[in-house]
Chain A
Amino acid sequence: MSYTEVILGRVAGVVLISWCSLGLAAELPETIEFNRDIRPILSDNCFQCHGPDGETRGAGLRLDIREHAIASNNGQAAIVPGNADASNLLDRIFHKDPEEVMPPSDTERSLSDHEKALLQEWIEQGAEYQAHWAYIPPKKISLPTSAVNPIDYLVKKRLNEEGLNHSPEADRVTLIRRLSLDLLGLPPKPDEVAAFVNDTRTDAYEQLVNRLLASKHYGERMTIYWLDLVRYADTVGYHGDQVRGMSPYRDYVINAFNSNISFDQFTREQIAGDLLDNPTQEQKIATGYNRLNMVTREGGAQAKDYLVRYAADRVRTTSSVWLGSSMGCSECHDHKFDPFTMKDFYSFASFFADIKEDGVQTYGGNDGPFPPLIPFPNDDEAKKFDEIDSEIAKLKVIMDTDIPENSENKKALQKEKDDAKNKHRALSRKRIHLERDIVSVAVTETMEPRMMRILPRGNWLDETGEVVTPAIPAFLGTLEKKDDRLTRLDLADWLTHRNNPLTARVFVNRLWKLYFGTGISRVLDDVGSQGEWPQHPELLDYLAADFMDSDWDIKYIIKQIVMSQTYRQSSMPIESIKDTDPYNRLLARQSRFRLEAELVRDNALSVSGLLVTKVGGRSVKPYQPSGHYRELNFPVRTYQQDSGENLYRRGVYTHWQRTFLHPSLIAFDAPTREECTAERTISNSPQQALVLLNDPIYVEASRVFAERIITEGGDDIASRIHWAFQEAFSREPLERELAIVSDLYIHHFKEYRNDAKSAKALIEVGEKPVREGLRPVELAAWTSVARTLFNLHEMIYRY
């Protein structure tokens, strides 16, 4: 396991500890700031019992609200502002008796001396509270006129405070590779690299950024990130994990990013596209968002039970995607750390109570489709539908004709009728299978809203709870609509309303992660009390406000980020701060990170020349180890691998089978998308090595690359290796590297010369025919070289 796994993984949010060991804050800050210094301590150690959840509150004491904390009870108060000695809280946290000390010893929590000192000093200074940073609407800090770029100004300000400065700008080759991988998820071609390196225009970099943002592949890259959030998949996830048509929704997302529709409109179309005036086909497809939750066809499952699960799933996902909040906790109890109540949870769920769906889907048996849906039959399929429908109509006539009592042919007529009935049944099955197999998308249709109650402890069998109607979380305000129930459209409008403090922050924070490897606030899926006080709070607020000011222009905000000097820095580690800023939170340099699962594949296919760059279309099924679907049932399935160009599409198009995701995607940390994923974990595992070494797509890509090495790379070994390095890494090999690679080539050339059968076997991996006129032995040896390059760390890393 790698160290960055822990670094980039969700690490405890106690910022103080890390800064303390930075040696920067070993002594207490002059002014204690509640949000930065105190809230994390109280939240992590006290709120579990002394926080928003009234059910389990200990001793009636509440520490998340100042009035409660300083309230006097029998002449005693937990906190006496300005008087630490008189504060009961201090008494308890310093208590020597294990029975008395807080937090209690059986909670697995304890305060460090530094934390205790901070609390003491904070009370001495008057115990001032602050509203939680993420719940205050973001504002732009006023910048001096000298600040050319707000990002650089704010990052640099912080660096200077620590006696540091930005790193020099990365070289142009690194820059174009970084930009291409970040914005498109694809490496630059050698001619693109050369053009940029030799571009003498003063705005060469900006020109490059503009070109990349205009690429059709930009939308594909952004879509990977969005699909993780909304938990997009091609299958339903529960039990039989049957296929549910969704790919037009995925293409909608790609197009939305490419055409740069504003984020508020993007929000509206997905949550409530069906409720817009005269919705377009695209807007209806966008409402597939509401149908992406896991659903079941399991026999014995109770519809009511599952409708509750789906409702809860939508709250978890929508609150995670837009609000960066873990509202899901309030399904069974008021939130322990943030002011979300159970009533908030079920009221939020009520927004979606009008979505037409079945608790347990039964239409068409185990392998039927999941209506309501929009079908997209091609011409052939449309024709088949017509044929079946007209046939069914004819049969119906026969079936509906009464046989006269006195008919002589009663027996024959009855037989005809029975035959018609059998044919009708068979044709209906056929029609259902056709419905399932064509491209379609499950969409939102509205109906009379289901009644929604608060479910005590989340128990769907308990009908004693209060009936609720749609409402936003109460502590964030109220939405009113005269004499009318709030709708999903109201919700969408509120999510991207100026007064909503969360959405813009959450979105730009996640964008920042895409370009720096870590968010400004590291916990991407929780900006609440247990989240992280942002490393650069003013910057996060500035970008969030700027995003709203730009009318939610996504490309604009991305361009702000990637144009900054902060982004353009070299990523070379800085020896002097390796120990003190191991996570590169101060941004004295760029970060480095591994490509995401889909991009690992895209990168190899692109370098090899195999990549098919078509955008959109139905999901595709690349090579997959046999037997991977062995444990699926209802119905039993064998993987129907695609052929031709569908084998070489980008990873974003790979068929997403939730319960048995493609093993190469799993190996590189792609989520199953059963739940919203704001941040993928990052592993470094032997399975990844096995994928790159042995998955046929990488062997085939290596061979196709080898064909190009031979035909395009010049006539001698050295020039071919130079060419291959330029194609794969946009750089020249070092002499030492050249030596190792040529050594391998020579050795394998000899190997395969003595073993022609193996050479043939190796180069015939994959469906792409071997290019004619090449010597198999030579091709096999160069395939070995290409396999080596495709397995290098550099191939899957962004610097």
Chain B
Amino acid sequence: MLDPEVEKYHQLMQTRREFLGKTTRGIGTMALASIMNSGEANAAAYVDDKWTGISNPTHFAPKAKRIIYLYMAGGPSHLETFDYKPELERLDGTVMPESMTKGQSIAQLQGQELKCMRPLLKFGKYGQSGQDITSVFPHMQTIADEMCIIKSMYTDQINHDPAHTFMNSGTAISGRPSMGSWLLYGLGNESENLPGFVVLTSKGGRNPQPLATRQWHSGFLPSKFQGVQFQSIGEPVHYVNNPPGVTGDRQRDIVNSVQALNTIRDEVVDDEEIASRISQYEMAFRMQTSVPDLVDIKNEPQHILDMYGTDGADGSFGFNCLLARRLAERGTRFIQLYHRGWDHHNDIVKYMNICAGHVDQGTAALVTDLKQRGMLDDTLIIWGGEFGRTPMVQGNKGGPGRDHHNKGFSLWMAGGGIKGGMSYGNTDDFGYNAVENRVSVHDFHATLLHQMGIDHKKLTHRFQGRDFRLTDISGNVVRDILA
């Protein structure tokens, strides 16, 4: 039996027309004209109202389609991971030559006596390539032949906050786009229903250094190029869950009504922006189902879960590695996993063991898993932090540790057209200065963009009268490490 209200409504229904399901308009003439005129974006940047990137087609054939950046925040010690310095064993306890440290920026050791400290973890040779890796990474040892270890990184910044900003955006000044934003701007997103730039963070480690959304912000690029943070605990993406009492069908009813009403309004006010809004609502609605599907790992076989060392949404790095693979499979362009807790000013042995224990298995599993699925070839994996640590000991509390160090440090890459089983560049005998085949952060960025098919000098955006780029005014592709 109907309510009186419902019966009354039936009279209205006589004139009802069907507007639901009306397709959105494609690119309009005005829009096309405006893009052509902008001198910046080209018409190809849009296909069917979807942003497909200003560097599309790419400047040359891409080797990688996506990047997974395992970001070790806090600054892991290169001297206890990949950069073995036998000479430092001998120099243990001696005073650092003043000639090396004079006039250099120094963080917490400022004003203290600077003494060398030997590598505190045991190195071995792994893989057919015989890469130097320490004992805390038993799983990574198994992927040594996939890794290209760059031992000659250096950066401008010596404190966490600006060093992160520099590593992600190529400058320590806030307000510039992060590398993931640049990539989305340049290439667009492959996925129809997930964000193209996703950030995941995991738990654990020494009292962790804070992060900031600046690290995945779009800066002066439109905010839609920002990284979207996924939470492994609770609602996976902010506002992705329906409100209480609203089922998926009811939400669809709302979205349908919104779409229909917007379509009518467009007919009245002739507003091209409405077509775009309609397509964004479709994407949002798709995200509401695809995100839960992404994080639902019940169909992953047990041996895969075991390989990553996770049982499910536990906030662990291993779980995030699994999510990263699932995102990669679904077309997400840039996936960044942060693991904080690498800031080992003291008790470096203890904390290296803890941190390595958090990330080692997941990292190796990700590389292995991608390889098994034939995806490593076009997925570029990066593992590294914002800087390295001093050859000098820091011992303010507990066991010995190391201070922040920006003149030389290591990171590694795998897949995505990078040569595996090699190391590149070197620091000096102290592990202090990168001296051979030095790689700056801008060189590193230029190389990443190159693998994605982008000439780093051509991916620019005008802001405050200047054409900005991720690599600022420098950067050379490190060609020696390209497969």
Interface residues of A (CB under 8 A from B): 1-7, 9-14, 17-18, 21, 108, 237-241, 294, 296, 298-302, 305, 320, 326, 328-329, 336-337, 461, 523, 525-526, 528-531, 572-573, 578-580, 582-583, 592, 594, 625-628, 630-634, 658-661, 663-664, 666-669, 671-672, 674-675, 677, 681-691, 693-696, 699, 716-718, 734-752, 755, 757-765, 780, 784, 787-788, 791-794, 797, 799
Contact = CB atoms under 8 A, between A and B. Distances in A.
Nearest to B103: A461
A572 B269 contact: yes
B13 interface: yes
A573 B462 contact: no
B223 A666 contact: yes
Contacts of A765: 243-245
B284 A717 contact: no
A318 to B, nearest CB: 15
Given A762-B244, A792-B258, A746 B6 contact: yes
Interface in B256-291: 257-258, 260-262, 264-265, 268-274, 276-277, 280-281, 283-285, 287-288
A683 B223 contact: yes
B444 interface: no
A494 B474 CA distance: 38
B61 interface: no
Contacts of B338: 631
Nearest to A296: B161
Given A526-B464, A734-B264, A749-B3, 13 more contacts: A3-B35, A296-B161, A329-B466, A582-B33, A632-B210, A666-B226, A686-B283, A690-B239, A696-B243, A716-B8, A749-B5, A750-B6, A788-B257
A13 B222 CA distance: 18
Among A239, A664, A671, A685, chain B packs the most CB atoms within 10 A around the CB of A685
B265 A686 contact: no
B37 interface: yes
Contacts of A299: 108
Contact of B253 (A631, A744, A793): A744
B255 interface: yes
A784 B465 contact: no
16 contacts: A1-B50, A6-B34, A300-B107, A525-B463, A573-B270, A669-B222, A672-B214, A681-B218, A684-B273, A685-B224, A685-B280, A694-B243, A717-B8, A734-B264, A758-B246, A799-B269
A33 to B, nearest CB: 20
A746 B253 contact: no
A747 B228 CA distance: 34
Contact of B174 (A666, A674, A791): A674
A696 B235 CA distance: 14
B144 to A, nearest CB: 31
B476 interface: no
A301 B107 contact: yes
Contacts, number: 353
Contact of B231 (A627, A632, A787): A627
Given A669-B222, A684-B276, A788-B254, A689 B284 contact: yes
Contact of B224 (A1, A3, A579): A1
B213 A659 contact: yes
A320 B465 CA distance: 12
B39 A787 contact: no
B46 A1 contact: yes
A530 B464 CA distance: 8
Contacts of A788: 254, 257-258, 261
A744 B284 contact: no
A689 B280 contact: yes
Given A2-B276, A531-B465, A791 B159 contact: no
A442 to B, nearest CB: 19
A690 B264 CA distance: 22
B353 interface: no
Interface in B272-322: 272-274, 276-277, 280-281, 283-285, 287-288
B271 A12 contact: no
Contact of A717 (B12, B38, B45): B12
B39 A11 contact: yes
Contact of A746 (B9, B269, B466): B9
The 6 closest A-B pairs by CB, nearest first: A530-B465, A762-B245, A300-B107, A659-B212, A689-B284, A761-B245
A736 B261 CA distance: 9
A735 B464 CA distance: 48
A660 B213 CA distance: 6
B30 A578 contact: yes
A583 B277 CA distance: 19
Contacts of A686: 195, 280-281, 283-284, 287
Contacts of A793: 262, 265, 271, 273-274, 277
A181 B8 CA distance: 37
Given A684-B276, A684-B277, A740-B19, A633 B220 contact: no
A644 to B, nearest CB: 21
Given A239-B161, A681-B222, A17 B39 contact: yes
Given A5-B222, A734-B264, A762 B35 contact: no
Contact of A1 (B51, B233, B261, B272): B51
A741 B107 contact: no
Interface stretch (B116-124, B412-420, B453-461): B453-461
Contacts of B8: 716-718
A17 B37 contact: yes
Contacts of B101: none
A578 B33 contact: yes
B257 A762 contact: no
A797 to B, nearest CB: 7
A9 B272 CA distance: 17
Nearest to B272: A3
Contacts of B247: 758
Contacts of B105: 302, 305, 461
Nearest to B107: A300
A326 B244 contact: no
Given A4-B273, A10-B463, A660-B212, A300 B220 contact: no
B56 interface: no
B142 interface: no
A674 B265 CA distance: 38
B36 interface: yes
B435 interface: no
B128 interface: no
Interface in B100-120: 103-105, 107-108, 110
Interface stretch (B79-87, B91-99, B201-209, B364-372): B201-209
Contacts of A745: 9
Contacts of B280: 684-686, 688-689
Contacts of A328: 173
A592 B40 contact: no
A740 B160 contact: no
A187 B217 CA distance: 31
A179 B12 CA distance: 35
Contact of B261 (A294, A755, A757, A792): A792
Contacts of B340: 631
Contacts of A11: 38-40, 462
Contacts of A734: 264, 268
Contacts of A718: 8, 12
A111 B483 CA distance: 37
B238 interface: yes
Among A683, A691, A716, chain B packs the most CB atoms within 10 A around the CB of A683
B462 A666 contact: no
B461 A10 contact: yes
Contact of A682 (B208, B222, B255): B222
A736 B264 contact: yes
